[in-house]
Amino acid sequence: MSKIYYLMGKSSTGKDTIYKELRKRMPQLKNVTIYTTRPRREGEKEGEEYFFTDETELEKFKTEGRLIEERAYNTVYGIWHYFTADDGQFNFEQKNQDYLMIGTLESYEKLKTYFGNEKVVPLYIEVEDGERLTRALAREKTQKEPKYAEMCRRFLADSKDFSEENLAHAGITERYENTDLEDILEKICKKILKKQSQL
Ligand SMILES: Nc1ncnc2c1ncn2[C@@H]1O[C@H](COP(=O)(O)OP(=O)(O)OP(=O)(O)O)[C@@H](O)[C@H]1O
């Protein structure tokens, strides 16, 4: 049975980095592009990290009943929406086709509701807070227009969004520590291969 491997974690835990590396190592995992109304960051390409869109398209998906999950962040730049749409990217008719995605705890739960618990496999990433903030700052500094206030807002919001209570509610039991990139990639690949061999 096809699975959706779902990467989650607080900001700057390395989800994008891990995602990109996993796609290189396991090219058979299909990419699902989600949508965002936030402005494009330096170096991001349309349809790669996200489909960059607007609220009109979001409303269209909603009206058509094709919105799988939606989250909105009240940022210092206004409200940014992120959403997953049933836009033809998921094809569970195709045998042995697994998917790799990045999301939040809430979107993970909504995907489980939409597709069924068995379909979605959580991959929860963790990094010690001090190290995570250091990485976030270093990353922000490389941007042409660093958004430090937004970086701080996300850092603070993370403690609430990923509280132990919320993790327990979402049924997250396994955690992957991103101290050494090679080490975490090896562990995740092992997990996916094990799942695939059980099917
Ligand atoms: N194991 C690691 N050791 C050191 N730095 C790392 C490691 N993994 C990722 N990084 C760096 O940490 C920063 C944050 O990583 P990344 O952008 O992948 O995180 P993210 O979880 O996708 O963040 P966000 O949710 O905020 O978009 C990047 O600059 C990345 O290069």
Contact 176, 192 (CB under 8 A): no
Domain that holds residue 19: 1-31+97-199
Q: Are residues 22 and 106 in the same domain?
A: yes
Per-residue pLDDT tens over the stretch 88-137: 999 988 878 999 999 999 999 999 999 999 999 999 999 999 999 999 99
Q: How many residues make up the chain in this entry?
A: 199
Cβ contact 18:188 at 8 Å = yes
Residue corresponding to tokens 């959403």:
83
**Residues 121, 78: one domain?**
no
Instruction: Report how far residue 161's alpha carbon sits from residue 163's, in angstroms, rounded to the nearest whole number.
Output: 6
Counting ligand 1 atoms within 8 A of each CB, the residue from 44, 134, 135 with the most, and so the one to mutate, is 135
**Ligand 1 centroid to residue 118 C-alpha, Å:** 29
ipTM: 0.98
Q: Is the minimum distance from the CB of 112 to ligand 1 under 6 angstroms?
A: no
DSSP 11: T
Whole-prediction pTM: 0.90
How confident is the model at residue 76, as a pLDDT? 86
Q: Ligand 1 atom closest to Cα of 142?
A: 29
Tell me the pLDDT tens digit for each residue of 6-65: 999 999 999 999 999 999 999 999 999 999 999 998 899 999 889 999 999 999 999 999
CATH number of the domain enclosing 82:
3.30.63.10
Does 181 sit in the ligand 1 pocket, CB within 6 Å?
yes
pLDDT at position 199 is: 62
- Dist CA 33 CA 89 (whole Å): 8
CATH of the domain at 119: 3.40.50.300
